[in-house]
Amino acid sequence: MSFIIEDFGKLNGTEQVKRITLSSDAIECSFITYGACIQSIKVPSKDGLIDIALGFDTLEGYVHQDKYMGATVGRFANRISGAAFTLNGKEYLLAPNEGRNTLHGGLCGFDKKNWAIEDADVNSVTFFYISPDGEESFPGSLSVRVRYTVDGNRLAVSYSAVSDQDTVVNIINHSYLNLSGGGAVGDHFVRIDSDLYLPTDKESIPIAAAPVAGTPMDLRQVSILSERLDSSFDQIKKARGFDHCFILNPSDFSASKITCCSDASGVIMKLFTDAPAVQFYTGNFLEGCPAGKGGAVYSDRSGLCFETGGCPDSPNRPEFPSALLKAGERFIQSTVFEFGLLPDSRK
């Protein structure tokens, strides 16, 4: 077990950004204070340790991209339709930053803040940020913590947040993962324990929950992605791949909700979460991203995001799990990524 903290550049030439690296006997993960990002996840593959998280070697890389690479996204991740919602009878008008809708917290969301390190030890680091009342027009001063814990073959991500006024919250991690360590993700196998997904309209706003059964959105059995990505199913064609919210079937935290693996590397990942949903995004718009770690080129579909959290547009959709956080109450949510090797890949 080891813990390293180092400088990772200066934001606007003044504010120090730090990188923290936590290692167990199995995996090694790095995090940066800018965006409380996951900067790397090194896991055992059949060819030794490989980095399965897309990202950048320098702070400039993170500042000069708009893909939310590895970032903690909030105060409200995903879309709020019409850039507005009503809470306790009052309408809140947000900044529209994707057509007429608000995406990922607005113009300057949590992903663009330099978080403080509240606490760090050999297993974990806790990042802290206070989002002031009225920031991006959301009500209430919100104290947010993101804690990353590395333990054996597991990386745990835990959120906690408290507001002094009623507000809405949806905090997710936006890591792009490639379990082969690079290349296109079509060769990945994915399973998502979900009977229902949210089809979207042409502005990527959810319409109404629909059964996955009988459609290429059915990922309840481990399925290779390439066939699904090439399907002529309207929802997949329109989004250029998967970019949909799946409502996770309720089960115990100890039952994995998502599995993903790559035959090329032998890496298998299981996700455990108490979040009600996941936005599964196949990196359909990565083209144009600046060069990544070691000069890596990130083209469309070179990374997968499993954005465990709430449902898009839930402040406007009473039928979705509520995003309301009442004043003084604590929002808590966790996701655990567990890594292993496929049986055939073990030496």
Interaction with ligand GAL in 61-90: which residues (CB under 6 A)? 67-68, 78
Report the 10 Å Cβ neighbour count for 6.
9
Report the 10 Å Cβ neighbour count for 66.
12
Q: Is 308 in the site for ligand GAL (CB under 6 A)?
A: no
Q: Is 285 in the site for ligand GAL (CB under 6 A)?
A: yes
DSSP string, 34-98: BTTEEEEEEEEETTEEEE-B---SSHHHHHT--S-TTEEE-SB-SEEGGGEEEETTEEEE----B
Whether the link from the prior residue into 147 is cis, omega within 30° of 0, is no
- In whole angstroms, the minimum distance from the beta carbon of 13 to ligand GAL comes to 27
- In whole angstroms, the minimum distance from the beta carbon of 228 to ligand GAL comes to 17
Select the residue interacting with ligand GAL from 51, 243, 313, 338 (CB under 6 A): 243
Nearer to ligand GAL, 267 or 304 (CB): 304
Nearer to ligand GAL, 128 or 285 (CB): 285
Is 203 one of the catalytic residues?
no
150 bridge partner residues: 155
Q: Is 240 in the site for ligand GAL (CB under 6 A)?
A: no
Nearer to ligand GAL, 5 or 239 (CB): 239
Phi, psi values for residue 111, rounded to 5°: -65, -20
Q: Is 127 in the site for ligand GAL (CB under 6 A)?
A: no
Is 307 one of the catalytic residues?
yes
Interatomic CA distance for residues 154 and 173, integer angstroms: 16
Select from 43-51, 214-222, 278-286, 313-321 the region that touches ligand GAL (CB under 6 A).
278-286
| Contacts with 246 (C-beta within 8 Å, 6 or more apart), sequence order | 192, 194, 196, 197, 198, 212, 217, 219, 277, 278, 279, 280
- In whole angstroms, the minimum distance from the beta carbon of 68 to ligand GAL comes to 5
Phi, psi values for residue 234, rounded to 5°: -50, -45
- In whole angstroms, the minimum distance from the beta carbon of 257 to ligand GAL comes to 18
Q: Helix or strand or coil: residue 314?
A: helix
Q: Which of 135, 136, 307, 338 is catalytic?
A: 307
**Catalytically active residues, by annotation:** 174, 307
Q: Which residues bind ligand GAL (CB under 6 A)?
A: 67-68, 78, 103, 204, 243, 279, 281, 285, 307
